[in-house]
Amino acid sequence: MKSLAELQAIKEKMKDKIILREGVGDIRVVVGMATCGIAAGARPVLNTLVEEVSAAGLAEKVTVSQTGCIGICQYEPIVEVFEADRDKVTYVKMTPEKARRVVEEHLKGGNVVSEYTIAGHKE
């Protein structure tokens, strides 16, 4: 049974890690979570990204956050990747499966998954 005592234990475990985390996060991953994104399936995409980033041990380097409407609703769910000194990458029509590949190949491996980007996307 999940209890508040267990939350207390999580806190104790994480207290020391927090100091390390501040000021890091070189990669920012943003998911469009307005009505258009949510209706198109952004919730499972976001949650897969959060899960996979943690599972890949990238939590120190990558932050996953949410934003409103990006303005190209027909391409939702949309995931944008911002990285210092690199161009923004816009992934369109995302699914949890595609999100897993983006974490593995792009966020971990450093290679953009071109076929999922807005430029590489084929109708």
Partner 1 sequence: MKELSLNILDIAENSVKAGASLTKIKIDEDEDRLTLTITDDGCGMTAEVLKSVTDPFYTTRTTRKVGMGIPLLKLEAEMTGGKLEIASRHEGEYPDSHGTEVKAVFNKKHIDFTPLGDISESIATLIQGHPETDFLFIHSIEGKHIALDTREIKRILDGVPINSYEVINWIKEYLNEQYS
Among 51, 43, 56, CA closest to 106:
56
The residue type at 44:
P
All residues at 6 or more sequence positions from 12 whose CB lies less than 8 Å from its CB, including other chains: none
Q: What are phi and psi of 58, to 5 degrees?
A: -100, 5
Q: Segment 3-32, which members bind partner 1 (CB under 8 A)?
A: 4, 6-8, 10-11, 13-15, 18
**Binding residue count for partner 1, defined by CB under 8 A:** 35
Smallest distance from partner 1 to CB 34, Å: 7
List interacting residues with partner 1 (CB under 8 A): 1-2, 4, 6-8, 10-11, 13-15, 18, 33-36, 38-39, 43-44, 46-47, 50-51, 53-54, 59, 64-66, 68-71, 73
